[in-house]
Amino acid sequence: MKNNIKKRKHEKRWDEWNEEQFRWFGDMKVVKQVVPRVQILSKYLKNNFKILDICCGAGRYYKVIVEDLKLIPNSNYVGIDNSEGMLLESKRRYKKGDFRNGDAYDLEFKNQSFDMCLLMDVIQHVPDYKHIVKEMFRVSKKYMIFVTWWTDGEEIDKNANSEKISKHINKPMFIKFLKTLNPKEIKCEGALIIFMK
């Protein structure tokens, strides 16, 4: 599959990864680290919800949400990423998953196509996060769920209350931006930020 999405400067680094690095990203140790996050988001999730996992990587949220905890049926999950390596790894691991080549800056879906949209461990990598969040807002009906920081450490959520997300954004700045979208409510639970429409 040829990725014909124009890559931005910050996205090109994924093209330099090798197969071993993509496999690490989908490693079961890394997948298990997302379980506490999924347990939090499951409080907002109904079995009939359609989920869009934006920048789904190697499919670790699919693994926990659909295969392990069976919170939604397989047909209700769509994962998009613009990294060919990540998509190949997610499709290799999870043959039944719906993983697609997609651009977070220009989502191919109609307005309010998904009950819940996930953007996990991505904000810190994108200088133009506002554009992605606005696209996410457009295609979501009820919830947008964010994890706004990442660590390579043993416990992925140990610094969940950290104010600094990256060199171009911090948590208060991000929440201030989210409030401009007129949410019904915003909650911070563990490493998650839950935006309710």
Scanning 111-167, the segments in alpha helix (DSSP H) are 129-139
Beta bridge partners of residue 164, listed in sequence order: 170
CA distances (Å), origin 141, targets 31, 49, 95, 155, 197: 27, 10, 28, 32, 7
Q: How far apart are CA 11 and CA 125, in angstroms?
A: 8
Q: How far apart are CA 183 and CA 197, in angstroms?
A: 5
pTM metric for this prediction: 0.82
What pLDDT, in 10s, does the model give residues 49-104?
Answer: 999 999 998 899 999 999 999 999 999 999 999 888 889 889 998 999 999 999 99
Sorted by where each starts, the structural domains of the chain and their CATH numbers stand as 9-196 (3.40.50.150)
What pLDDT, in 10s, does the model give residues 155-179?
Answer: 334 444 455 555 557 788 889 999 9
What pLDDT, in 10s, does the model give residues 51-60?
Answer: 999 999 889 9
Q: How far apart are CA 148 and CA 97, in angstroms?
A: 25
36 is written with which tokens?
């506490």
